Structure formats: C-alpha cells, structure tokens
Amino acid sequence: MHESINTYLREVLKESSADVSGKLAAYIPRLRDADEKLQALALATADGQECSAGDDEHLFTIQSISKPFVYALALDDIGLDRVREMVGMEPSGEAFNELSLEGGTGRPLNPMINAGAIATHHLVDHTSHEEHPGGRQSESRTSEVRSRTTRILDGMSAFAGRPLEIDWDAAEEEYSTAYRNMAIAHMLKSHGSLETEPDEAVRGYIDQCSILVTVKDIARMAATLANNGINPENGLRVVSAESARTTLGIMATCGMYDASGRWLTQIGIPAKSGISGGIIGVLPGQVGIASFAPRLNEEGSSVQGVAMFQHLSNELSLHLMSSERINVIEELERRG
C-alpha cells in the first residue's frame, strides 16, 4: 500500500494516545505487567492489501478475540443447529465474565461472553487431530484437550495465514487464577451445557486464549471473515461463507459485551475486543481492522483502541448504517 496510508494510521495512533485513562488487566500477571505505551493499528483488505503502524510486530495473547474465530470453526465442524442447541445468539447486557445463563434453556446467551466461549470451545471437533505436545503435563490437559488445541491452533493459523504459537507460560499463569472461569464451567456442567469436565474445558479455553498474535495477524484474520471465509493473502478457504456471515452477525450484536449497543450505534462495525488490549473490526466485503493498546475501560476493551475505531469510522464513513458507501483504500489514498 501507499506510504500515505501508513502515515494516516500513524496520525490516528498519535491522536488516540492522548487518552491515558483506563487500567491494565490486573487479575492476570502477564497482562498486569504490560507496557502501557504500546500502540498499533493495522488494516487488511479483502483483496490482499495490508498496512500497519506503531508496534505492529509486538506479540500479545489473543484472549477473547479468539472467540469469533473458534465459533466459526465450530459452526463448520458440527453445524449451526447443533451449536445453537448449546449456545444462544442474543446479547447478554452483562459483563463478559458474568455467571448467567439463558432462562428456560440453560444455554449461555451468546458465544462472545466467557460462558458461551467455554461452551463453544468444547463444540469444536477434535476427533481427527493429533494431540498437541505443548504445555506442561497436567491431569486437566487430557488427550482430548490436546487434540482440540491442535484443531483450534491449526484453524487460527489458517485465518492468520501463518503458523501461530501458544504462550504456554502465560497459559499456566492464567489457569492458576481462573477461579471465575472455573465457576462458569461448573455452572455450565450443572445445567447440561458442557459435556466435558469443568477443569478440562477451562484448561483448553485458556490455551486457546494464550495464542500469540500481532496486530497484523488479527487484521488479516478479520479480513478473512470480511472475505467470506477466504484468507485474502493466500486465497485458501478457512471457513464457509455461511459461518463467516453468522459470526459477523454475532460480532455486531454481542462482540463488545455490555457496550455492544453503544458500539454499534456510535461506531457501527462488527467487532470483538480482548483483555490484552486488542480489538478487531470487520467491514464485510472490504477490510479487517485491528488495533492494540493495553489500557482497558470498564467493559474490558482498549480505551485507545475504541478511540482509534471511532476516528476511522467517523473519518471514513465506515458505519454499517451509513447511506454513504465508500472504498476504504481509495478513500485513504485520496486523503494521503
């Protein structure tokens, strides 16, 4: 891409850096010690163009940004009807780690909150995959957990277009303090929404969240959803067009937790955030957007990342409900 676009992205980073509010995720040691000054922004288009600015080579754990991609994998593995039996599709209006289920069904309300993500993780088909050898030996990291990790890591690598790895030390740190996720898993088990043992479900889910990515990786992963499930860099299909579309619908209504309504109204881009400081957004048919900055707001999303997306949405008319339809790259090049 033209250097003018990178210059524009650097300007967006500079503007968003003025907001130094928010806090690091103190309940996870690795995230509590993150460098608060890190910032990055990346775009990847549906036709394979990419640009980025800031600390775009910095590796961080993907955390909850993994949720939409694993949901898409589960949809392809076992089908929408089976997934919907176990995980709902409605906004929760609650915090991402709330201990709550849908009244009457006992399902998690949607796959973007922790309860739904833990249940979705277990729905991914592991049966044709070898056990992943990584991570220390433990009773909870069973053969099934390891083979499902292989399936998920392979799928996430396909989204990113390169082999991804897991930060096993970060996974151990997070598992050692995963009391709330363990409580959620026990709640799921008691309501019949989880077939495996709670400690195994949480172990696998945390290994999933500990996959290492850069902001460029998650922009390309978002662009794969934008491109109907086909990786725009190598042209390989990762998930079906139907699974990509369904996932984007869930992201639009549930991806930003209890701020999802406000996000959709003000920014208008299907999105997903993670507590390590990343946010992805998808403009269907056009572009995947990714930001990184570790300070979080009360909903668990990056303060500066939200500011970056607000700037891009306003300046480039990216809101899904906007009557003005533009080509993002052409508009960026024009501004440059």
Cα–Cα distance for residue pair 308/53, rounded to 1 Å? 12
> Is residue 276 within 8 Å of 60, Cβ to Cβ?
yes
Q: Please choose, from the candidates 63, 9, 38, 42, the residue with its C-alpha nearest in 3D space to the C-alpha of residue 311.
A: 9
| Annotated binding residue 176 | no
| Annotated binding residue 27 | no
Cα–Cα distance for residue pair 248/126, rounded to 1 Å? 24
> Is residue 279 within 8 Å of 309, Cβ to Cβ?
yes
> Is residue 184 within 8 Å of 145, Cβ to Cβ?
no
CA 209 to chain centre: 9
Place of tokens 């929404």: 193
| Annotated binding residue 299 | no
290, with CB counted inside 10 A (0-12, 13-18, 19+), is buried
Residue 115 is encoded by which pair of tokens? 């309860």
| Annotated binding residue 205 | yes
DSSP 284: T
Burial of 132-152, coded b for 16+ CB within 10 Å and e otherwise, reads: bebbeeeeebbebbbbbbbbb
> Is residue 248 within 8 Å of 270, Cβ to Cβ?
yes
Cα–Cα distance for residue pair 29/45, rounded to 1 Å? 35
| Annotated binding residue 257 | yes
| Annotated binding residue 228 | no
Q: Which residues are annotated as a binding site?
A: 64, 114, 174, 181, 205, 257
Binding-site positions for substrate read 64, 114, 174, 181, 205, 257
